[in-house]
Structure 1
Amino acid sequence: MLTWDDFEKVDIRTGTIVAVADFPKARNPAYQLTIDFGELGTKKSSAQITKLYTPEELIGKQIVAVVNFPPKQIANFISECLVLGVVGADKEVTLLLPDRETPNGLRIA
């Protein structure tokens, strides 16, 4: 079982996607996202969300992400955060989104 102290170590924040690029070198179809986390600055993420989202509809979308994982190299790209989503049966990822816009960088608790 996870303890409350364990949960508090996970730093989950809101951020807004400000740039999206195709990521042809990824093993699985993915986008390279640039996300604004307010006072935390911008972070990049590789996200396998190409089945349900186009780059155009992702720009300006506020998402939820874990921001305190160590950077991870994926092909020639360094992913700095993990965008959260619900994984469906066909590995389709539906993004977790705040139901109201909030300031970027607010912590999820």
Structure 2
Amino acid sequence: MLTWEEFEKVEMRVGTILEVRDFEKALNPAYQLTIDFGELGIKRSSAQITVLYQKEGLIGKQVIAVVNFPVKQIANFFSECLVLGLVGADKTITLLQPERAVPNGLRVA
């Protein structure tokens, strides 16, 4: 079991997607996302969400991400946060989002 103190170390924040690019060097189809986390700044992430989401529809969408993991190199790209989603039986990912627009950087509690 995870302790409350351990859970509190995971910093999940809301951010708005500013830019989406195809990640051509990824092993599995993915996008490179640029996300605004308000006072935490701009972070980049790789996300395997190409099945349910088109690039144009992601711009301006708010998402939830873990922002305090170490940077992870994926091919020639450095992912600075982990965008969270629900994994379906067919491995498609549905993004976690706030139910209404909120300020970027708010922490999940």
Q: TM-score, normalised by structure 1?
A: 0.99
Give the secondary structure class of the aligned counterpart of 2:104.
Answer: coil
Cα shift at 1:90? 1.2
Cα shift at 1:72? 0.1
Residue identity in the other structure for 1:30: A
Name the residue aligned to 1:63. Answer: 63
Residues 56-95 of structure 1, C-alpha deviation per residue, up to 9 Å, x if partnerless?
0000000000000000000000000000000001110000
Distance 1:97 1:72 in 2: 23
User: Number of residue pairs matched?
Assistant: 109
RMSD: 0.3
Question: Mind listing any 5+ residue stretches in structure 1 that lack a counterpart?
Answer: none
Give the secondary structure class of the aligned counterpart of 1:6.
Answer: helix
Distance 1:5 1:104 in 2: 24
Give the secondary structure class of the aligned counterpart of 2:46.
Answer: strand
Name the residue aligned to 2:40. Answer: 40
Distance 2:23 2:40 in 1: 24
Residue identity in the other structure for 1:97: Q
Give the secondary structure class of the aligned counterpart of 1:18.
Answer: strand
Name the residue aligned to 2:13. Answer: 13
Question: Mind listing any 5+ residue stretches in structure 2 that lack a counterpart?
Answer: none
Give the secondary structure class of the aligned counterpart of 1:8.
Answer: helix
Q: What percentage of aligned pairs have identical amino acids?
A: 74
Name the residue aligned to 2:90. Answer: 90
Q: TM-score, normalised by structure 2?
A: 0.99
Q: Which 4+ residue blocks in structure 1 deviate beyond 4 angstroms?
A: none
Residues 3-44 of structure 1, C-alpha deviation per residue, up to 9 Å, x if partnerless?
000000000000000000000100000000000000000000
